[in-house]
Every structure is written in structure tokens, then in C-alpha cells.
Structure 1
């Protein structure tokens, strides 16, 4: 049985070049080539593909949004972003949208086939340069929220069920100071209640 591949790429020579390389293999077969995500989505049930190769800069629905829609309709498929861009924001957005891997258009036919095989085996193919960008993006995302030690103390004591009065006594500060810290915490976490602040801080491993 050959795995079915769909190519979504508006560069026709490139998409046909990919198809030629893929169709020479024993494991993969290109069932459809589309120039837009809209057309691919219309035919998603008919194609029932195992792997989608998707360009990120497509007219109309771009590759990131297209990936979201394809994954929502066909959760078990794999999507590889194939693009000229090596931009960390685009990389991060594509992977967050559900892409399995991210490769550049400059890759050789051999590396393309290796990426398809790696994907089917459960891997997440991407170039070394892009892998470093992804790690950097995740680290940046994780470090965007930063609480002071005092703010962490206030949140931890709130999570333990302490009242403002108890916290004020234990930290030797006034209730107004606690409210001031909470106002800053709300702004940083983008929440509007103590419960939401504690929940988000726990989720982000801030306390």
C-alpha cells in the first residue's frame, strides 16, 4: 500500500517536480496537486491523504490557516510545510497550527523522500537551522511572562487559600500593596480575577 500525498503549492514547476520525485518511490503516491488551500479543502474527503505538503505563502487562505482547517477536518493526517521562509515566527505558527514538520524548498529530492519516510515513522522532520529556530521560539514564548519574586509569593499564598489580611501579615506589607501587586499580575497574565491568575500561573509553571 502506498501512502497518499497531496501537494498544495502555487509554484507549478516546483509542485510537479515534487510529484515526479515522490511518484518514483515505492511507498508514496501523489493523488492531487492544488494551487490553493480552498480547493484542497473542498476535496479533502475525496483525496483522504496521509501527508500534505503545504506552501505557507498561498493566495487566499495561507498555509498556516489552511493547516488549521485541514487538521480540524482530518486530524490524523500529517502536514509538512514546504517554503522558502526560514522565519522563526512562521515556523512557530505553522507548528502550533498542527504542522508535523517544516522544510525549505531548497531541499533535494532525496531529502524530501527521507522527510516523508520520517513523517510516516512518527518523526517531525525539519532542517537543523529551523530546529534551532523552533527551540528559540518556544523558549521565547515561555519567557514572555515574568513575575517578580514578591508577585510569586502573593500568588502562591492566594493559591493556598490565604486572605489578603493573612498575606499582608505574613509578608509584612499592607493590603493596598497586595492589591497593587495583583494589578500588575493581572496585566502580565492578561486575566481579571485571583482564580484565573492562579490557574494561569500554574499552567505557565510560574509558581
Structure 2
């Protein structure tokens, strides 16, 4: 079996050297080159043509986000995994929009990182669990805003899914029975459904909550 070839961009020398050592001494992986910045990322991937790039975000000179763009413009089919300490959504989506194929945190155990490299080589999109949750939550938010559901309507819909009746919803949210029914009517209209069962089905299938 051919080894997965890699190029690393990481400004923490100790971490980078450790990764190079671990990968080169693990069957199935081969580090072709490593850099402490990504200023010449395009040239590097053109020269070495790696299967996978490991890219830090916060580096001197050009950022890892810029590095991803350069790699993808030079070698579109090279997979890029962000390897970073950043868990905030802004950095995450900047990288994904720039073309990153995976997003792993530096606290990831080596074995999980190796699995992620194999996964991205096979066409997957590996992400650390906390990062994957952020992506899923973001899509849920997009779904809910797509139907213009208000925060209160989302509360009502969540209780409806749990099996609450209109009377129980009113009691749980400390609102009048008529207000609860009004919220439900608005939810049905916005979701383009005719009853509670259809609303529940659509909410679950489309992961609105």
C-alpha cells in the first residue's frame, strides 16, 4: 500500500518536529516537507504534490486561512486539514469557506489525527467532535432562520416534539392557552404544514431544532 504523503505548515517548531517524527515512524504515512510558515504554500505543494496538507491557522506572515486558499488554487485536489487550537466559529467557517477539508484541534490524540488523515485521503471531512457539533448547530440555526421561526416559536415547537398538548405548552411556558394556540398556528403556517404531526415530522426530518 502506498504511503499517504504530507506537507506540514506549523510555526511551533517542537510540535512540528514531533509530528514529522511520529508520522514518518508510523506505517502508511510519509512527510515530504515541513515549514514554519505558509508564505510559499503554493510553491511547496506544486513541488511535492502531497496527498494531504496539515495547516496551522495562526502563523507569522500569511495566516493558515490564506494558506488554504493558496494550496487549493495551486493543487485543487490536495486535501487540507486545519490543525489548530482555535475552536471559535469565525475561524472554523473562514477555513471551510477557503476550502479546508477537515478541522482538527491540537489536543487531538495522535491516533485520532492519523485516522483523520486517512479519512480525508479517502474523501471524508474529519472534524474534532466539538467542531462537528458547532457545524451541526450552525446548520440547525440556518434551518430555523430559513422558516423565520421566532425564539418563542422554537420553544413551542420543541415542546410539541416532546408530546406536549396546547394546554401543557401554555402551562410550561407560562402563557395563556390562546397564546399557545396562536404560536402553533403561526408555526404551521411558516412550516407549510396543516397539523402538529406534520410539523413534528418536518422539524425532525429537516433538523430544524
Question: Given the two structures, how large is their TM-score scaled by the length of structure 1?
Answer: 0.66
Matched with 2:127 is 126
What is the distance in 1 between the residues matched to 2:16 and 2:113?
12
Matched with 2:111 is 110
| 3-state SS of 1:38 partner | coil
What is the distance in 2 between the residues matched to 1:60 and 1:128?
30
CA contact (8 A) 1:80 1:100 kept: yes
Q: Offset of 1:106 from its aligned partner?
A: 0.9
CA contact (8 A) 1:115 1:125 kept: yes
CA contact (8 A) 1:89 1:137 kept: no
**Gap regions ≥5 residues in structure 1:** 149-207
What is the distance in 1 between the residues matched to 2:42 and 2:36?
11
CA contact (8 A) 1:8 1:37 kept: yes
| 3-state SS of 1:137 partner | helix
Matched with 1:92 is 93
Matched with 2:4 is 3
| 3-state SS of 1:37 partner | coil
Matched with 1:51 is 52
What is the distance in 2 between the residues matched to 1:58 and 1:40?
12
Matched with 1:14 is 15
What is the distance in 1 between the residues matched to 2:82 and 2:5?
16
Deviations 1:95-129 (A, max 9, x none): 11111110011111111111111111221111111
Matched with 1:37 is 38
**Gap regions ≥5 residues in structure 2:** 150-209
Q: How many residues align?
A: 148
C-alpha change, 1:73 and 1:139, in structure 2 (3 Å) is farther
What is the distance in 2 between the residues matched to 1:134 and 1:56?
18
C-alpha change, 1:142 and 1:94, in structure 2 (3 Å) is farther
Q: Relative to structure 2, which stretch is displaced further, 34-43 or 15-24?
A: 34-43
